[in-house]
A = this chain, B = another copy of it.
């Protein structure tokens, strides 16, 4: 399999042939207009600038100046990244791509960058959608991207405490494959699972599999090692502590600006063998939200509790509902969960929900249909799940056809959700109207908390080839303003990077920014670590 330098995932998995035709047909039905395919440029045509630095001999063996390597590390994987790649617009290309084999190499690379004032951009799987890995290194003479991909091993497993010491560069499948023989799993499955790393998840506070409780990777961390300009920060392996502010919580979400995470002890799960799933249809969105809130506040803690609005259900699950479709799942490695599902479905019924199917699996008995037979709703949930992993590939295919296809997300308290949802949707529609005519705005909940949901929006609009980045940026500005005004966070799990900075700067308390800036100066005195991410470049 070959990684795409310009788009998502593997070249071999790109949307093509019949899948592409069907996708384009669906788009034409929603947004009439001509759809012309545009090809990505050949890497040889990019004319990348000559590297501005030469590594010292001791580090030369880790460093690549291969144009394909440098081009592939120039951008993350946001819509605007993919489109700029398609246009061959690579303004900020790392001068070198370094691949450390061990922590010592990371220390040496940081020493060198600090000495020379070279921007150092930590890089995991490169799936950032917020400019988090793009070396826009204002003021620095050069940039080195440090790709942790060769540090991808599970180093130690503690079966008793159910934890493992894992290197930061392990991609999702890398680490799950190494944990599987031990019957254990990290169970952190972001949409980017195949193409993002443990270190990236930690640095960006990634959101994962669990819709409730362990929503962010944060809660799965026992301890971390981080290479900083003030030495290696190694926290103690602990199940919980109250000794001062948590050291790990300072580095979680630091996005490479305070140090380079090299490994972590992570809390693991047994592989679940009890499953129960259902889909519930609602005729009214407000009622669907109320039901989801009731479940979020019930203490039932479903593994999955994703409310799709009518547009999301139609486009990505192929289900036509007037109000919304709630996809519910419970799982356990220890005990049956069917009664939990029944109670959750009962809460849905209290709000007018109609369960379309439910299934339960117990160990050794395989899938057993519940009294009602598996129906369209259950298939819809499966459709949505497989669609979920295809979405980034479809996004790339549509981007090549001048479509604007992007997502954004937030979280807010329940009391603010209705106003936020209305304002954000309206802002998106109006901005789409201004730059692209008509489009579609969808919403689903990726995670829910007792005190509020994490809504995730999708935008689909017709664009003009050559202008789609500017068109999207206009829409993104409008929705970000609406989110900020309505009390939502600028990001629940996509991170801040460079692109969310204008709103993050208004969201975070000023004294906290002063403290974070001071911490950065202590840990990165030369200001070389991912400059411009989280904090203004010095």
| CB interface residues, A 236-256, toward B, < 8 Å | 236-247, 249-255
A317 within 8 A of B: no
A222 CB contacts on chain B under 8 angstroms: 413, 451
Establish whether residues B335 and A504, one from each chain, have CB atoms under 8 Å apart when the complex forms. no
Interfacial chain B residues near A163, Cβ < 8 Å: 413, 451
B244 near A534 with CB under 8 A, answer: yes
Residues in B whose Cβ lies below 8 Å from that of A414: 160-161, 239
Separation of A233 and B431 alpha carbons in the complex (Å): 33
Q: Report which of B161, B206, B522 forms a contact with A242, defined as CB distance below 8 A.
A: B206
CB within 8 Å of B: which A211-241 residues: 213, 215-216, 222, 226, 228, 230-241
B243 with A253: CB separation less than 8 A: yes
Find chain B residues with CB under 8 A from A253 CB. 242-246
Stretch from A61-69, A357-365, A396-404, A512-520 at the B interface: A512-520
- Identical chains bound together, number: 2
Residues of B contacting A508 with CB < 8 Å? 235, 243-244, 247
Could you say which residues of chain B place their CB within 8 Å of the CB of A243?
A: 253, 489-491, 495-496, 500, 504, 507-508
> In chain A between 157 and 206, which residues have their CB closer than 8 angstroms to a CB of chain B?
158, 160-163, 204-206
Does A509 lie at the interface of the complex (its beta carbon under 8 Å from any beta carbon of B)? yes
**A231 and B451 within 8 A (CB):** no
Question: Separation in Å of the A247 CB from the closest CB of chain B?
Answer: 4
Would you call A54 an interface residue if the criterion is a C-beta within 8 Å of the partner chain's C-beta atoms? no
Q: Give CA–CA (A493, B239) in the complex, Å.
A: 12
Closest to A447 in B: B240
Complex Cα spacing A343 to B237, Å: 29
| Interface check A511, CB cutoff 8 A | yes
A481 contacts partner chain B, Cβ-Cβ < 8 Å: no
A246 contacts which chain B residues (CB < 8 A)? 249, 252-253
Q: Mark A285-300, 1 if CB is under 8 A from B, else 0.
A: 0000000010001111
Does A276 have its Cβ within 8 Å of any Cβ on chain B?
no
Q: Is A332 an interface residue (CB 8 A)?
A: yes
Nearest CB in chain B to that of A533: its residue: B244
A392 CB → nearest B CB, Å = 19
B residues within 8 A CB of A516? Answer: 244-245, 519
The interface size of chain A toward B, counting residues with CB under 8 Å, comes to 96
Contact A511 B523 (CB under 8 A): yes
Contacts of A158 in B (CB 8 A): 413, 415
Chain B CB count within 10 A is highest, among A239, A339, A450, A492, for A239
> When chains A and B are docked, how far (Å) is the Cα of A166 from the Cα of B470?
45
**Is B491 a contact of A162 with CB atoms below 8 Å?**
no
Q: Is A521 an interface residue (CB 8 A)?
A: yes
Q: Is the CB of A514 within 8 A of B509?
A: no
Given contacts A158-B415, A161-B415, contact A494 B335 (CB under 8 A): no
Beta-carbon nearest neighbor of A255 in chain B: B244
* Bound form: Cα–Cα A101–B267 in Å: 44
A226–B511 touching, CB < 8 Å: yes
Q: What residues on B are CB-neighbors of A413 within 8 Å?
A: 158, 160-161, 163, 222, 237-239
Give CA–CA (A230, B517) in the complex, Å: 13
Known: A415-B158, A451-B161, A452-B161. A494 touches B242 (CB 8 A): yes
A319 within 8 A of B: no
* A89: interface (CB < 8 Å): no
User: Could you give 13 example pairs across A and B, Cβ below 8 Å?
Assistant: A160-B293, A228-B511, A230-B510, A231-B510, A231-B511, A238-B488, A242-B492, A244-B516, A245-B254, A246-B249, A247-B512, A514-B522, A515-B518
